[in-house]
Amino acid sequence: MNTTGADVVKSTGGAPPVDWDLAVSTARRLARPGPVVSREVAEHTVGRLREVTADAEAHVRQVTGLGDGLPLLPGDVVDRGDWIQAAADSIAGLTTGSLPNRPSRVVGGVLAGTAGVQAGMVLAYLSGRVLGQYDPFGGDGGRLLLVAPNIVAAHQALDVPPEDFRMWVCLHECTHRLQFTAVPWLRAYFQGQVAAFLTGLDDSANGAMARLPELLKSARSKPDSATSSSGPLALVEMLQAPEQKAIFDRLIAISTLLEGHADHVMDAVGPVVVPTVFTIRERFTARRRGGGLLDRVLRGLLGVDAKMKQYAVGAKFTKHVVDELGMERFNVIWTSPETLPLRSELGDPAAWIRRVA
């Protein structure tokens, strides 16, 4: 069962750090409507998205060699409002017990409400951009969401065949589902790293001022690299104590691997399954980089550009290792937390090969 903001209050006492119910209502008010299509087109799109996920995962299993014997399941097709609720429930559940409650119900309630409005604004923006999402903590053991209006809007904007685009999106999300369902330890490991990171945020913030001169000097001298952070993410990284930095590096490494591996697989399935795969990839990559000034500013503030960098770095790492060793030996990466790439190895896959494979 998903955890809502109200459930958090009941289970932990005091005012929660974020009023997620307010976040959801704010996001739903601010979210833009989806594209206007006929009822027939809408029903066809929803039906095909439900059907194609099982086919997509079968292709993913062929490419990756993962998931033999697991059931082939459909996805959940949602609109923007449903995605907002699911995302809020997932974040609330994932962070429960890791972020401290406000000690005062009155003041804490005001602060939680402010945080809820801010979170709602972020969710509203993202609700118009997310095509699909596998939530390993949603539902009973995970939930694959496909945001129908965004998929329709994207294939219209890219001017690509809708059937090809639907399959291409599902290949990415089904890869994520397979990563978590075929690798039994991954869900608990990821959840544990998130909890450890959030629990230590207060200590990192308290120690940041004492280290301010050192931080400023480090920021000026820090070299740029394929895996270095920029924008708000770089600021967050600067404020971390060494222990927090180690956890943060592990989270960046695993999320970059997961996104890059999924991007590699969705293209590796190839034109036999998605005839226009190369056209879709070219136009979709250009779309990721585009947008107006406001959109680019928001992407930077919300870390969306950092996410795009993750896709590229992770896909390049995956391709290098698969080209060098083949997919079967690449899959050694899923053996345990110790065989995952270090953050530094993402930009130097040969180092991971020397250490692990």
pLDDT digit string (tens) for 116-162? 999 999 999 999 999 999 999 887 779 999 999 999 999 999 999 99
pLDDT in tens, 252-266: 999 999 999 999 999
What single string gives the DSSP state of each residue in 22-36?
A: HHHHHHHHHSPP---
Q: What is the mean pLDDT of the chain?
A: 83
For residues 182-206, one letter each, b for 16 or more C-beta atoms within 10 angstroms of the residue's C-beta and e for the rest, the string is bbeebbebbeebbbbbbebbeebee
Helical ranges in 72-130 per DSSP H: 80-95, 105-127
Alpha carbon separation from 223 to 49, 52, 220, 227 (Å, rounded): 44, 44, 9, 11
Residue type, 91: I
Which is it for the CA torsion 307, 310, 312, 318, positive or negative? Answer: negative
**Do residues 218 and 238 touch, judged by C-beta distance below 8 A?**
yes
Closest C-alpha to 10, from 92, 119, 85: 92
- Can you tell me the distance from the alpha carbon of 87 to that of 82, in angstroms, rounded to the nearest whole number? 9
pTM of the model: 0.82
pLDDT in tens, 32-82: 999 999 999 999 999 999 999 999 999 999 999 999 999 999 999 999 999
- Can you tell me the distance from the alpha carbon of 307 to that of 314, in angstroms, rounded to the nearest whole number? 10
- Can you tell me the distance from the alpha carbon of 160 to that of 280, in angstroms, rounded to the nearest whole number? 7
pLDDT value at 91 more than 80: yes
Helical ranges in the chain per DSSP H: 5-12, 20-30, 39-64, 80-95, 105-127, 148-158, 162-182, 186-199, 201-208, 212-221, 232-238, 242-268, 277-289, 293-302, 304-325, 327-330, 343-346, 349-355
Domain coordinates of the chain in residue numbers? 1-182, 184-357
Per-residue model confidence (pLDDT) at position 124: 95
Q: Which pLDDT band, with edges at 50, 70 and 90, does 331 fall under? A: very high
- Give the class (CATH, top level) of 1-182: mainly alpha
- Can you tell me the distance from the alpha carbon of 67 to that of 64, in angstroms, rounded to the nearest whole number? 9
Per-residue model confidence (pLDDT) at position 229: 53
Q: Which pLDDT band, with edges at 50, 70 and 90, does 302 fall under? A: low
Helix (H, G, I), strand (E, B) or coil at 104: coil
Per-residue model confidence (pLDDT) at position 138: 84
- Can you tell me the distance from the alpha carbon of 101 to that of 112, in angstroms, rounded to the nearest whole number? 9
Percent of the chain with pLDDT over 90: 62
Q: Which of 185-194, 217-226, 304-313 ranks highest by mean pLDDT?
A: 185-194
pLDDT value at 230 more than 90: no
pLDDT in tens, 342-353: 999 999 999 999
DSSP state for residue 142 in the 8-state scheme = -
